Amino acid sequence: MDSKTQTSVNTKWFYLQTTTGNNVKLALTVNDELSAARLFEISLTFMHPKTLAELKASAAQRTEQLTEMRRYAEISVHILYGLAALFFLFVLFILVQAVIQKGKDRHTRKLLLAEIGKREELVENGHFVTAHELAEKYLKYFPDDTGIRAFHHRLLDFTNNDPKTAQSAFVEARKLKARLTEHANEPHKLLLSGNEKDNLKALLPYHPELNTAYNKLLQIEERTQVRQNLDVQLTELQSALRGGYLSKAGHVLEQIEAQHPDTPDLEAWRKELDIKKQEAQSAFNQLSQVFQSGHIANGSNELNLFLDKYKDDAQALDLKQGLQQSQGLTKLRLRWTSRSAPLDLFLQNEVIIGRLDEGAAPHIAFDDRRISRNHAVIKINGDRAEITDNGSTGGTYLDGQKITSAVLSDRSILNLAKIKEFKVLETLDTQGKTTGLILSGKNENYGVVFSTLSFTFKNSAMDNSKDEYTVYSDRNLALLAWANGFAALNPDKTIVAGNERITLEAL
């Protein structure tokens, strides 16, 4: 401030709120201090150097961007020209293709019109795939042709909607027909393998001719198998007849008669078998007489010879099995259904009589303490059977006389300790030798078989007045004979002897 003039000068600068142009203002104000008034003001606006530099840089950047945009615009124009050229070429190509396709369509239509006439010939020759493709292609160009459309449907029906598989079926049908013709006289070459059958079965629904040919081959195969089976059966029949297997031969012949009634020489085979069966039955009847007469050893030898000739004769096999089962038999009970008392048989040369007790096991055993454990013994002495008392307490009596040892004679009375009484029934051979005897008591009978024992029943009691039944024992084999038959003796067996049923039980 000037004291003489009393004026003051105030200078200040500040930024203007603008983003363009001058942005700095410088103001010079002269004031009268005495009157407190502003004398005048001088202001000046200008651009800040930093701002100017920034504007210059921004202008340069925009210039560069404009240049780049101009360059991109030029490239885009070139690309647009190129795309336009390509589009023109594409349109031209489509037009050319359309012209070419139209020409091809005209050619295809002309060709299809010529080829469609071959459809039936194609089907007849089994070219179902080609016929199907031809019909589909034709209908593409001529969809309103109802005749070809109907043909197309018929073809699909005929091929079961699978022309390719049906074509394979047609080929196989031709092969089978050729096979049937070529090997008409060689049935074995017409047989189908398992794999062939499996493959053909899958094709049968697709062609009727294949089905027909396949069934013919199956019929031929069946007839061939029947013939082969017949040949096998005839071979078995001949072998059985030659080998002596008459039962097997009869079974095979029955099968042939049932399955192949028209077989030549069937009556001759039946006649030959009947003759051999009659011969076998006659030979067995003679063999039976040997056994019925008690010649067990001779009968066994002849039985073996018989089975060498007639190997599967049921009667002979049953007899041999029975004899084998009776081998080694020493005791047996015979029980008649019409008799109350059984017969206990002992097939041995020495029989002990006594009481069944601890440490004692007599053959004929009684449960009575008055009979000693080892009371007496019956055995052959020379030609006759005798009984010997073994020092029994109660004694042994024969015809009322106490004995130490005595010959057992027919119809004599044997008494043991005066409580058990038996009538002796003796069987003698032609030389008067004892071959067997029966001790017949009240409700109990005991038989001792040395070789032969004959007996009958009289007034419900056992008797030896006639030989209704005969037991034979020889070489550890035993059998029972009666008027019209015989049977080997072995336990757990039932014999039908005339009107009687005899059960054999183990003792």
In a domain, 160, yes or no: no
Q: Residue 279 has what pLDDT?
A: 95
Over residues 447-458, mean pLDDT: 94
For 296-344, the pLDDT digits (tens) are 999 999 999 999 999 999 999 999 999 998 888 899 999 998 888 899 9
Among 118, 205, 198, smallest CA distance to 157 is for 205
Residue 30 has pLDDT above 60, yes or no: yes
For 268-296, the pLDDT digits (tens) are 999 999 999 999 999 999 999 999 999 99
Report how far residue 177's alpha carbon sits from residue 212's, in angstroms, rounded to the nearest whole number.
10
Tokens of 394: 């109660």
Residue 211 has pLDDT above 60, yes or no: yes
Of the listed ranges 28-37, 153-162, 390-399, 450-459, the one predicted with least confidence: 28-37
- Say which residues have a Cβ less than 8 Å from residue 99's Cβ, sequence separation at least 6: none
At 4, the pLDDT band (50, 70, 90 cuts) reads: low
Most confident of 187-191, 421-425, 461-465: 421-425
Looking at the structure of the chain, the number of domains it has is 2
At 507, the pLDDT band (50, 70, 90 cuts) reads: confident
Tokens of 405: 């040892």
Residue 36 has pLDDT above 90, yes or no: no
In a domain, 221, yes or no: no
Task: Please report the beta strands in 16-97, taking only residues with DSSP state E, as ranges in sequence order.
Answer: 24-32, 37-46
In a domain, 483, yes or no: yes
For 8-23, the pLDDT digits (tens) are 777 787 777 776 677 7
Q: Residue 151 has what pLDDT?
A: 92
- Say which residues have a Cβ less than 8 Å from residue 58's Cβ, sequence separation at least 6: none
In a domain, 270, yes or no: no
In a domain, 497, yes or no: yes
Percentage of the chain exceeding pLDDT 70: 99
Structural domain that includes position 32: 7-47
Q: What's the CATH number where 427 sits?
A: 2.60.200.20
In a domain, 198, yes or no: no
In a domain, 461, yes or no: yes
In a domain, 86, yes or no: no
Residue 2 has pLDDT above 70, yes or no: no
For 216-241, the pLDDT digits (tens) are 988 888 888 888 898 899 999 999 99
For 470-506, the pLDDT digits (tens) are 999 987 889 999 988 999 998 989 999 988 899 999 9
Buried b / exposed e across 82-112, counting CB within 10 Å, b at 16+? eeeeeeeeeeeeeeeeeeeeeeeeeebeeeb
Q: Residue 405 has what pLDDT?
A: 96
- Say which residues have a Cβ less than 8 Å from residue 221's Cβ, sequence separation at least 6: 190, 191, 192
